[in-house]
Structure 1
Amino acid sequence: MTTAPDAAAAAQTAAPQTRAPQTGTDLAIRTEGLRKVFHKQRAVDGIDLAVPRGSVFGFLGPNGSGKTTTIRMLLGLSSATGGSIQVLGEPMPSALRSVLPRVGALVEGPAFYPYLSGRANLSRFDAADPTSDPRSRKDRVASALDRVGLTHAADKKAHAYSLGMKQRLGLANALLTPRELLVLDEPTNGLDPQGTREVRHLIRSLADDGTTVFVSSHLLAEIEQVCTHAAVMRTGQLVAQGTLDDLRSAGARTVTVRTPDVGQAAVVLGRLGLAPRRDGGSDVLVADLVADVEPETITAELVRADVRVRGLAVGGGTLEDLFVALTGEGFDVAG
C-alpha cells in the first residue's frame, strides 16, 4: 500500500516544475530564491515564483505555509532575508515608488477610520495617492463603491459595517484607479454566497480588462472557478506551480474495480505494480494508478486472467488530490 509520504513524493515528482522562466518580460511577478527567516525559522525557503501577465493566479497552501509572508515581501511591506523580487518588470523593493501606484492590494484584512463613512474613507485613501487627480475623485470613489456593491451603504459609518462589507470596501480601495496588478489575500473572507459570487465576477472582469490578479485563498472553489494558474506552498517551500490544467493532471489518479473475484483481481493488479486495497464493499478494490499503467491495460489483464469485471472506473486527477498529496492536509472546499 502506498504511504502518505510516498504519495506526496510521487505527486511532487509529477507536479509541474516550479522553476521560474529565465526571462521575466512576460511575468507580472518573478522571484528567485526568495527567503524570509524569523528567529532562525524559515518562513519562506528559497521560492522561485512566476506569475504570467494577464493571468488569474491562485496562491495555495495551509495556514502557516508562508503565503502572507510572501505577499508582504512582494509589496515591500516586509524585507526579504535573501533572493530577488521583480514586480511588473522592476526590482523590489528598490522600485517601490514606481511600482506601487500600478498595484492594488488587499492584505490581511482592511483597516478603516471607524467613524468615517465608507465613501469618506475611500476619499481619504484616494487623496493620499499623489498620482490621483482630485478633480475626478468623487467619480472614482462612486465607481469603486458601485463595482463592489456598496453604493447603498456608502454613507454608513465604517464601524457599523459587517466583516463582509469591510472586505468589499477594501476591494473598492484597491480599485480606485486602474491597476496592472491586483494582489488579494483571502478576498472572500466574511462574504455570504452572493457576495462571493460577485467577487468572482469582479475578478473575471478585471482579468478580461488585462489586469493580472494574484489571489491567495484557502477555498478550493475560488481557485477552481476563477484562476488560470496556481502555485502550492508547503512549510515555506513552493512545491508546485503551473496552469490549472497542468496541476489537475498531476493529481493522483485511482482505479476502482468491482468484481466477485477480489483475490484473483488483487493478484493481477499486483503484477502490474499497483497496490490494491479493499474499499466500500467486499467486491471492490481500489489502487493508485502509476504513470506507465493505463486503465485499458488493467482491463485487458483482468479479462486475460478470467476475472469477472462488473465495473472499472478511474477517478482523481483533481486540484484537491494534488493539494492533499503535496501538503498532507485537507482542503476547505466550501464556496
Structure 2
Amino acid sequence: MGPVVQTRGLSKRFGGQTVLDGIDLSVPRGSVFGFLGPNGSGKTTTIRILLGLASATSGDVEVLGRKIPKFLPEVLPRVGALVEGPGFYPFLSGRANLHRLDAADRFVDPSTRRARTAQALERVGLSQAANKKVGAYSLGMKQRLGIANALLTHRDLIVLDEPTNGLDPQGTREVRHLVHSLTEEGTTVFVSSHLLAEVEQICSHVAVLRAGKLVAQGELSELRAAGQTRVEVLTPDGEDCRQVLVRLGLIPQEPPTTPHTPSGSDVVVAAPLPKDFLPETIVAALVAAGVRVKGFTVDQVGLEELFVSLTGEGFDVVQ
C-alpha cells in the first residue's frame, strides 16, 4: 500500500547532456498527481522510463510496488497511458482502432471486447463518432480516443501526458470530470502538463521539474500554504497608500498580472504579507492616514506564480 510510483536518484543522460538529475518522485495511491515543468524540462523522458519505453542511466524505479524494468510484463497490464499524443490507423474507424488495440492485449477476455470498447467510447464522449474514420477526426477527438484506449480495462494507474491538448473548453471540462471519476474508482492518475489552470483544478498533489531537477513536491494545498500571501489595495490614492505600507514595514510591488480591475483614477497597490501580520492592521493604518480604500483583498499565491518562482521566468530549456 505504498506509493504507486517511486523513484530514487533517477538520472538520464544522452551523451554528455544530463536530462534527468537525481529525481526522487513519490506518487501517493489514489491521488491525482500533477507533473509540472517547462517544455523540455524532462517530464516526458521521466514518463517513458516509468513505462519501460526508455532506460534510466542510474537510479531505481518502482511502479505499483514492482521494480522497473525487471517486472515490466507484470506491471504494464495494470497501467493505462497516453504519451506524446495518440497514434491510430487513419483509415479505420475509432471503434475499429480500439478493437485492434484491445485484441493486442493478451490479458483481457475477447468475449467482452465489444462491450468494453463501447463503454470506453461513451466515457470520452465519442459514441456518436465511433464509426467515423479516425483520419477525419479533429485533434481533440484523437486525444479523446487515446484516453479511451487507456480506459479499455480497469487500471490501477493511468498516465496522461498533456491530456487536454487540442480539446475545446467543453472537452477539457469532460476530461476533468473523467479524472475525478477514475480516482473514485480507486485509480491513481498521473498527469503531465504545462496548463497550470487545469492542474490547479484537478490535482491533489504536484511535483515541479526544472531543467531535469525536482524543485518541489507535495500536496498542492501544502505548497500553496508555504508560498507567499499578498495584499492588494484598490484606491485612488496610490502614492499615499504606498507610503503607509512602507511605514508598516511592507514592500510595495508591481501590481499582479491579473489585478482587480480598477476604474477611473483607481489603482491597485500590492505588497507581500509576512506571516503573522494581521491584515486589519493595514486597513486601520490606511484609514487613519486618510487613504480612500475601495477594495482590500488578501490573496494566496496561485499555482502559476508558484510555478514561476520555482522554475524562473527565464529558465533554460533542455533540448
TM-score by length of 1: 0.82
Aligned with residue 51 of structure 2, among 54, 58, 75: 75
Q: Is the 8 A contact 1:183 1:215 kept in 2?
A: yes
Q: Are 1:104 and 2:80 matched, yes or no?
A: yes
- Structure 2 Cα separation of the partners of residues 215 and 101 of structure 1: 19
SS of the equivalent of 1:242 reads: strand
Question: Structure 1: 5+ residue runs without aligned partners?
Answer: 1-24, 331-335
- Structure 1 Cα separation of the partners of residues 290 and 234 of structure 2: 9
Question: Structure 2: 5+ residue runs without aligned partners?
Answer: 256-261, 315-319
Q: Is the 8 A contact 2:240 2:291 kept in 1?
A: no
- Structure 2 Cα separation of the partners of residues 174 and 108 of structure 1: 13
Deviation at 1:94?
0.9
Cα RMSD of the aligned pairs, angstroms, is 2.5
SS of the equivalent of 1:27 reads: coil
Aligned with residue 308 of structure 1, among 290, 298, 319: 290
Deviations 1:243-293 (A, max 9, x none): 221122233222234678877765664465532246587976432223354
Aligned with residue 148 of structure 2, among 154, 167, 172: 172
- Structure 1 Cα separation of the partners of residues 147 and 201 of structure 2: 19
Where does residue 186 of structure 2 map in the other structure? 210
Q: Are 1:252 and 2:228 matched, yes or no?
A: yes
- Structure 1 Cα separation of the partners of residues 56 and 218 of structure 2: 24
Where does residue 13 of structure 1 map in the other structure? none
Where does residue 259 of structure 2 map in the other structure? none
- Structure 1 Cα separation of the partners of residues 298 and 268 of structure 2: 13
Q: Is the 8 A contact 1:251 1:319 kept in 2?
A: no
Deviation at 1:214?
0.7
- Structure 1 Cα separation of the partners of residues 242 and 145 of structure 2: 58
1:209-248 to 2 correspondences below 5 Å: 209-248=185-224
Q: Are 1:43 and 2:7 matched, yes or no?
A: no
- Structure 2 Cα separation of the partners of residues 324 and 234 of structure 1: 10
Q: Is the 8 A contact 2:41 2:212 kept in 1?
A: yes
Please tell me the residue identity of whatever aligns with 1:321: E
SS of the equivalent of 1:93 reads: coil
Deviation at 1:206?
0.8
Alpha-carbon distance change, 195 to 273 in structure 1, aligned in 2, over 3 angstroms: same
Instruction: Please say which of residues 94-103 and 214-223 is displaced more in the overlay.
Output: 214-223
- Structure 2 Cα separation of the partners of residues 143 and 263 of structure 1: 62
Q: Is the 8 A contact 1:261 1:307 kept in 2?
A: no
Where does residue 162 of structure 2 map in the other structure? 186
Please tell me the residue identity of whatever aligns with 1:310: R
1:6-85 to 2 correspondences below 5 Å: 25-85=1-61
Please tell me the residue identity of whatever aligns with 1:313: T
- Structure 2 Cα separation of the partners of residues 310 and 143 of structure 1: 60
SS of the equivalent of 2:87 reads: coil
- Structure 1 Cα separation of the partners of residues 103 and 303 of structure 2: 42
Q: Is the 8 A contact 1:106 1:170 kept in 2?
A: yes
Query: When the two structures are aligned, how many residues end up with a matched partner?
Result: 304
Alpha-carbon distance change, 77 to 295 in structure 1, aligned in 2, over 3 angstroms: same
- Structure 2 Cα separation of the partners of residues 284 and 123 of structure 1: 57
Deviation at 1:37?
1.4
Alpha-carbon distance change, 128 to 278 in structure 1, aligned in 2, over 3 angstroms: closer
Aligned with residue 323 of structure 1, among 296, 307, 311: 307
- Structure 2 Cα separation of the partners of residues 261 and 81 of structure 1: 59
Q: Is the 8 A contact 1:255 1:315 kept in 2?
A: yes
Alpha-carbon distance change, 53 to 261 in structure 1, aligned in 2, over 3 angstroms: same
Identical residues among aligned pairs (%):
64
Q: Are 1:136 and 2:112 matched, yes or no?
A: yes
Q: Are 1:287 and 2:261 matched, yes or no?
A: no
SS of the equivalent of 1:112 reads: coil
Please tell me the residue identity of whatever aligns with 1:117: S
Alpha-carbon distance change, 308 to 176 in structure 1, aligned in 2, over 3 angstroms: same
Deviation at 1:220?
2.3
SS of the equivalent of 1:184 reads: strand
Alpha-carbon distance change, 265 to 193 in structure 1, aligned in 2, over 3 angstroms: closer
Q: Is the 8 A contact 1:62 1:329 kept in 2?
A: no
